[in-house]
């Protein structure tokens, strides 16, 4: 098992000071910067577009882990790639051709991720295991930060860990939603090797970020 990567979700940051917030979580030990892109259509919330991703890019050298909750995603993949995304993750429900979408992400030279909603079965990734770099298990329904971790996703994480190991490929298993000091160890025990955390990172303000991130890592 590789080291646990912590990806603070800037959805819980102070949007009036986003550049500063990104620098603060970088200095506090974040491995990736998780950026939640919502379109008010695929999910009932509206957040960040490529212009904001581009504006944040000079504030850190850490990888941008971009979670696209938009439909259709395909017309905007190039814009997010050019804006500075490192990983582009899509929901299979957001378009009719998941394989083609992942091909496009790879052609753009980016890491390709698939995001599984709580009710989405694992089988959706069976035939794209050879092309994904990351699989993200949603442990809340997408759309908002600050929700409660859905325990039933632990069994999915365990089974996904088994399938990733059996594939022989290096695929990150990331968990997103309701991850805090109590649920992080359970997600890790089930097989997660990357954790998204919005509320649990940003609670208490900048002076707490380093301790919050360390606690999630289990150190
Ligand atoms: O994708 C997301 C919501 O759709 C967010 O990444 C997630 O909710 C993080 O927030 P929190 O850690 O507060 O649950
Ligand atoms: Fe997310």
- Which whole number is the average pLDDT over 19-47? 98
Which residue, 82, 23, 26, 75, is CA-closest to 51? 82
**pLDDT range class, residue 219, cuts 50, 70, 90:** confident
CATH number of the domain that 127 lies in? 3.20.20.70
Q: What is the mean pLDDT of the chain?
A: 98
Pocket-forming residues, ligand 1, beta carbon under 6 Å: 9, 11-12, 34, 36, 67, 140, 142-147, 176-179, 196-200
Considering the candidates 31, 39, 172, 176, report the single residue annotated as catalytic: 176
Tally of domains within the chain: 1
Annotated binding site for substrate: 9, 67, 143-146, 176-178, 198-199
Distance CA 191, CA 189 (A): 5
* Domain span holding position 53: 5-217
Which residue, by CA, sits nearest to atom 10 of ligand 1?
A: 145
Cis check: omega of the bond before 197, within 30 degrees of 0:
no
Max CA separation in the chain (angstroms): 45
pLDDT value at residue 1 = 46
Residue 99 near residue 128 (C-beta atoms within 8 A) = yes
CA atoms 165, 152, 177, 185: torsion sign: negative
Known catalytic residue: 182?
Answer: no
| pLDDT tens per residue across span 156-199 | 999 999 999 999 999 999 999 999 999 999 999 999 999 999 99
Q: Coil, helix or strand for 45?
A: coil
Cis check: omega of the bond before 139, within 30 degrees of 0:
no
pLDDT value at residue 2 = 57
183-218 exposure pattern, b = at least 16 Cβ within 10 A, e = fewer = bbebbbebbbbbbbbbbbbbeeebeebeebbebbbe
Measured from the Cα of 180, ligand 1's closest atom is: 12
pTM for this one? 0.98
Please report where in the chains the tokens 């954790």 appear, as a residue. 195
Distance CA 51, CA 32 (A): 19
Q: Which residues hold their Cβ within 5 A of ligand 2, which is an ion?
A: 36, 67, 176
Considering the candidates 31, 36, 65, 172, report the single residue annotated as catalytic: 36
Which tokens hold the place of 106? 């790879």
Annotated binding site for a divalent metal cation: 34, 36, 67, 176
């Amino acid at each position: 098992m590789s080291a646990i990567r912590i990806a603070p979700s800037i959805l819980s940051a102070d949007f009036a000071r986003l550049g500063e917030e990104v620098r603060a979580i970088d200095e506090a030990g974040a491995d990736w910067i998780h950026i939640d892109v919502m379109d008010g259509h695929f999910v009932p919330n509206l957040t960040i577009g490529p212009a904001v991703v581009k504006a944040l890019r000079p504030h850190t050298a850490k990888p941008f882990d971009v979670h696209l909750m938009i439909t259709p995603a395909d017309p905007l993949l190039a814009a997010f790639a050019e804006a500075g995304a490192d990983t582009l993750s899509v929901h299979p429900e957001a378009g009719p051709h998941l394989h083609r979408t992942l091909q496009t992400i790879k052609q753009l030279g980016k890491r390709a991720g698939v995001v599984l909603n709580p009710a989405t079965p694992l089988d959706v990734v069976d035939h794209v295991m050879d092309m994904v770099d990351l699989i993200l298990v949603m442990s809340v329904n997408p759309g908002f930060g600050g929700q409660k971790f859905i325990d039933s996703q632990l069994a999915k994480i365990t089974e996904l860990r088994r399938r990733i190991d059996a594939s022989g490929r290096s695929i990150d298993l990331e968990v997103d939603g309701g991850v805090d000091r109590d649920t992080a160890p359970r997600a890790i025990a089930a097989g997660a090797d990357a954790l998204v955390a919005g509320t649990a990172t940003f609670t208490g303000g900048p002076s707490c970020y380093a301790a919050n991130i360390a606690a999630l890592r289990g150190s």
